[in-house]
Amino acid sequence: MKRYIRYALPLATLLAAFTLPGEAAADTRYPDLETNIGVVPAAYGAEQPTGSGHSESGHSDSGHCDSAHSESGHSHLAVFLGAGEEDIGGHQESAKAVGIVYEYRFRSGWDIGAALERLDLDGHANTIALIPGGYHFSNGLRLFVAPGYQFASGSAKDKWLFRAGVSYEIHISERWTMAPEVFKDFLEGGGDTWIAGVAIGYGF
């Protein structure tokens, strides 16, 4: 029994060095335990600073991903190309759209901006000015709406419109993005236009 006690006592002292604070780990028989062993858990187990609101993965405590905003800044400029159809009073015309869109993106996920588009229809073209606003989800999905005004060419009448749409943004690189999107314009006095296309953008 004395032989087991003789071996158990040094083993218990060694285990205490890993579980007790540095002061308790010091022992007269093993003076180096405090500096060589007892301090190691404290160095690796030091409490990390809190209050930054972000985890190591780049996500905020609110669950919204801020990596795109922190890397690309708050501004985003994109060129849109799309095609679709306009339907007014049962009369349908094919439509092609090209435009430029500027967004100011808040870290909360919301955005607001301005857009200017050219809508080519059968035999004439319209120019559309919009003020879009939307919300970016952390998975890349964006829902947006935009009041706007359509300047018609020829004898056609200028009209107010309201746009609603959805897009899915993909980061090609740190700053470049690609976003397939589809939207529908509800025209003043009746009628609507729907467009599907893709936007290529740059964050800065």
Instruction: Give the tens place of pLDDT for each residue, 21-68.
Output: 444 444 445 444 444 444 433 333 344 444 444 444 344 444 444 444
99: domain range? 68-203
- The reply to whether 17 and 104 lie within a common domain is no
- The reply to whether 25 and 91 lie within a common domain is no
Number of domains making up the chain: 2
Torsion angle in degrees (nearest 10) through CA of 34, 38, 39, 42: -150
Is residue 83 within 8 Å of residue 181, measured between CB atoms?
no
Q: What is the pLDDT of residues 86-121, one digit of tens each?
A: 998 888 999 999 999 999 999 999 999 999 999 999
For 163, the token pair is 């746009």
How much is the mean pLDDT over the chain?
77
- The reply to whether 21 and 94 lie within a common domain is no
- The reply to whether 142 and 88 lie within a common domain is yes
**Residue 61 is assigned to a structural domain of this protein:** no
- The reply to whether 137 and 38 lie within a common domain is no
**Residue 55 is assigned to a structural domain of this protein:** no
- The reply to whether 100 and 157 lie within a common domain is yes
pLDDT for position 10: 55
- The reply to whether 85 and 21 lie within a common domain is no
pLDDT for position 179: 98
Inter-CA distances, 104 with 44, 49, 121, 128, 199, Å: 42, 31, 30, 20, 16
Is residue 97 within 8 Å of residue 121, measured between CB atoms?
no
- The reply to whether 103 and 158 lie within a common domain is yes
More confident residue, 197 or 19: 197
pLDDT for position 188: 95
**Residue 116 is assigned to a structural domain of this protein:** yes
Is residue 107 within 8 Å of residue 95, measured between CB atoms?
no
Residue 13 has pLDDT above 90, yes or no: no
**Residue 102 is assigned to a structural domain of this protein:** yes
29, burial (CB in 10 Å: exposed 0-12, middle 13-18, buried 19+):
exposed
pLDDT for position 25: 40
Distance between CA atoms of residues 23 and 26, nearest Å:
6
Q: What is the pLDDT of residues 144-182, one digit of tens each?
A: 999 999 999 877 899 999 999 999 999 999 999 999 999
- The reply to whether 82 and 154 lie within a common domain is yes
Residue 69 has pLDDT above 50, yes or no: no
